[in-house]
Amino acid sequence: MIRTTNLRKIYRMGNVEVKALDGVDLTIGKGEFVGIMGPSGSGKSTLLHLLGLLDLQTTGDIWLDSIDVDRLTDYEKTMFRLYKLGYVFQDYALVPELTVAENVCLPAMLRSDRKEEEYRADTVKILKQIGLSDRSSHLPRELSGGEQQRVAIARAIVNKPDILFADEPCANLDTENSSVVLDLFDEINHELKQTIIMVSHEDWHSKYFHRIIRLRDGKIVEDSG
């Protein structure tokens, strides 16, 4: 499902080159729940953003679902993200003027193949699954941080993406709410066979992962199942 070869990302700061990723070879199969871990500055988020088509690599190749994504136009990449990928970030990124239900519906509304009655029914189902049915008409500011992150997850999965990317989704949450979020990831991974790639710096999160990829200085130093 995901394959990279010799993936590199170099940032230039004046005359200085910073190698955020330095030759990453990686294969991830369908249905895996993979944790990307490592110290600050090791390249975790950079790798996630490249795999999620949110940034461009300096060199190397990325294949998603047997497609060489470097051959896609900007428009084709946008459509690929909309139809194939889902994202959860640490800052929730909810639209403050929209209700919980409207936030969840938003990605589905952008797709030409989704009927309104279909995605609204999916939204109701997902909100029930994450325990927020009674909050569907609330605005994000009326929710706790943990509830907002659950809404962000619901929004990310409403289109039934092939791959779900999560970048430090528990960074702003306490341990209790982090457990709720990770239990939800575990549930959708098992029930929906959802492929999940998650960046984390918390060692206790590792019990949820099928496989851990550890980075240091932009290189993979451990890949354990």
DSSP-derived letter for residue 143 is S
Q: pLDDT at residue 225 above 80?
A: no
- Across residues 191-204, what is the average pLDDT? 94
CATH of the domain at 64: 3.40.50.300
| Domain count within the chain | 1
Print the domain residue range for 180.
Answer: 2-224
Average pLDDT, the chain: 94
Strands 67-68 and 59-64, by their bridges, are antiparallel
Cα separation, 148 vs 167, whole angstroms: 15
The answer to whether 162 and 86 are in contact (CB under 8 A) is no
Which residues lie below 8 Å from residue 80, measured CB to CB, with a gap of 6+?
A: 53, 64, 67, 69, 72
- Across residues 168-188, what is the average pLDDT? 93
Q: Which tens digit of pLDDT belongs to each residue from 127-143?
A: 998 899 999 999 999 99
Nearest to 153 by CA among 62, 66, 224, 86: 86
- Across residues 188-192, what is the average pLDDT? 91
Q: Model confidence at 15, in pLDDT bands (50, 70, 90)?
A: confident
pLDDT at residue 129, rounded to an integer: 87
Burial code (b: 16+ CB inside 10 Å, e: under 16) for 87-122 equals: bbbbebebeeeebbbbbbbbbbeeeeebeeeebbeb
Q: Percentage of the chain surpassing pLDDT 90?
A: 92
Q: pLDDT at residue 162 above 90?
A: yes
Q: Which tens digit of pLDDT belongs to each residue from 39-78?
A: 999 999 999 999 999 999 999 999 999 999 999 999 999 9
Six-digit token pair at 15?
């005359």
Q: Which tens digit of pLDDT belongs to each residue from 107-125?
A: 999 999 999 999 999 999 9
pLDDT, greater one: 214 or 224: 214
Which residues lie below 8 Å from residue 175, measured CB to CB, with a gap of 6+?
A: none
Six-digit token pair at 164?
């779900």
Q: pLDDT at residue 13 above 90?
A: no
Q: pLDDT at residue 192 above 90?
A: no
pLDDT at residue 110, rounded to an integer: 92
Long-range contacts of 170-177 (CB under 8 A, 24+ apart): 170/90, 170/200, 170/202, 170/205, 171/90, 172/90, 172/91, 172/92, 172/145, 173/145, 173/146, 173/149, 174/146, 176/146, 177/144, 177/145, 177/146, 177/149
pLDDT at residue 14, rounded to an integer: 84
- Across residues 169-189, what is the average pLDDT? 93
